[in-house]
Amino acid sequence: MPWNKHLKLGLLVALLGGAVATYYISQDEKPAIIFAGDTTYYIPGKNKRCDWIAYIANDVTHEGASFSEVHIGLPAAEKRGSIRAIMQVHENIALLSYNLSNQEHTLPVVMTGDISNKALPIQAIRFRWLKSSLLTVPFFTTKADCLATRVKVAQK
């Protein structure tokens, strides 16, 4: 009867191996985070002091229904609130859309930013309106990076 013990042990090992394989196959890969939630980005303003901020509330990934509400404002000067925007990613393009008016029947402004070949999560990006080089809004994760970029532009 020693073959009976080996058969039971073999079946037990096969069942355990099957359970482990099923577990690993059933695990979904977590999508890469493009824009990390609970992150503040700094935006150069009129006087290039980087006092404007954009706060991204939730993680944004390549998933189809992944988006985040974004609050854009100047907290040091504006006490009435912020501009509410929506951020979403489609393929290698980040979309930022917002209304400049509080009226319901106005069309949103939609800006795009290229995220191809960038390290994730995004540390700096430039959103453009209609692929313009003049109508742009750059985002930086630190105020120092924002100010350093403005200094480089001034030195040119």
33-155 adopts what CATH topology? Lipocalin (2.40.128)
| CA triple 20-25-26, angle to 5 deg | 100
Q: What is the pLDDT of residue 86?
A: 94
The mean pLDDT of 9-21, rounded to a whole number, is 84
- pLDDT per position as a tens digit, 97-107: 998 776 777 88
- pLDDT per position as a tens digit, 28-76: 788 889 999 999 999 998 777 899 999 999 999 988 889 999 999 998 7
pLDDT band at 3 (very low <50, low <70, confident <90, very high): low
pLDDT top residue among 156 and 96: 96
Range name among 5-14, 41-50, 86-95, 128-137 with the lowest pLDDT average: 5-14
Q: Among residues of the chain, what percentage have pLDDT more than 70?
A: 92
Q: Is the dihedral of CA 94, 111, 98, 125 positive or negative?
A: positive
Task: Report pTM.
Answer: 0.76
Q: Three-state SS across the chain? A: CHHHHHHHHHHHHHHHHHHHHHHHHHCCCCCCEEECCCEEEEECCCCCCCCEEEEECCCEECCCCCEEEEEEECCCCCCCCCEEEEEEEECCEEEEEECCCCCCCCCCEEEEEECCCCCCCCCEEEEECCCCCCCEEEEECCHHHHHHHHHHHHHC
The mean pLDDT of 108-128, rounded to a whole number, is 93
